[in-house]
Copies of this chain bind each other. A is one copy, B any other.
């Protein structure tokens, strides 16, 4: 792997900021709030940020970069597809319970549902996340899908996955804003009590986590070797296409901007 140290530092930092976010959200609801319970009160509402940060954001982030971890390259691609899909499914389940908690709390407290931009974008993101999951399983895990379909859909799969991941973080930041404006009273949010500062820091941690995950996911040199398309270097110095790359994923324009032949050459030399 090219820039292995750089990769390890990036992944370690992402895990650090992800776990720090989880610690912060747990401290938020337990130290500053009422803890968690399924009681239709604020303690039930508190499941909402806890499950979103822990499951929907942290597990989704891990799911996105799981193919990049060199330790996983010993497993075959199908196994790793199941891990990728399984982590996303877990994230989805956390998200659905998180939504149930907030609807239940609203209904018990006679607070309207679905009035805020946070709720609108959150519900659209969850619906599209579900669609992305169903399409991903249908196209990449069910063996009957033709390779040409898999290839054609991959740029959209990668783009949508990263867009949804970023959107979920943005929606969470809007949720923190709502909760601090509605929940803090005497002192209010504008008086900057410790809880306000603490949750602002939590927002920052989540943004850094998201930025690191997107950075890791979009470095071409850090892709799983079977997903990289490697040219062979012939003895006369001309490069020819390596035709035995295997996986359908490898046929794909797998993401955003292109890499140059210089990069491919460097990578080829390192393997």
Contact = CB atoms under 8 A, between A and B. Distances in A.
Nearest to A267: B258
Interface string A178-200: 10111000000111100010011
Given A181-B182, A192-B112, A253 B261 contact: no
Contacts of A215: 159
B173 A121 contact: yes
Interface in A215-266: 215, 217-221, 223, 228-229, 231, 238-241, 250-264
Interface string A89-127: 000000000000000000000011001111011000000
A257 B260 contact: no
Contact of A191 (B112, B180, B220): B112
B121 A256 contact: no
Q: How many chain copies?
A: 2
Interface residues of A, number: 65
Interface stretch (A33-41, A42-50, A79-87, A203-211): A203-211
A2 B214 CA distance: 27
Interface in A16-30: none
Contact of A173 (B170, B214, B253): B170
A223 B118 CA distance: 35
Interface of A: 111-112, 115-118, 120-121, 155, 158-159, 163, 166-167, 169-170, 173-174, 176-178, 180-182, 189-192, 196, 199-200, 203-204, 207, 211, 214-215, 217-221, 223, 228-229, 231, 238-241, 250-264
8 contacts: A117-B200, A120-B200, A159-B218, A166-B170, A177-B177, A253-B260, A255-B256, A258-B259
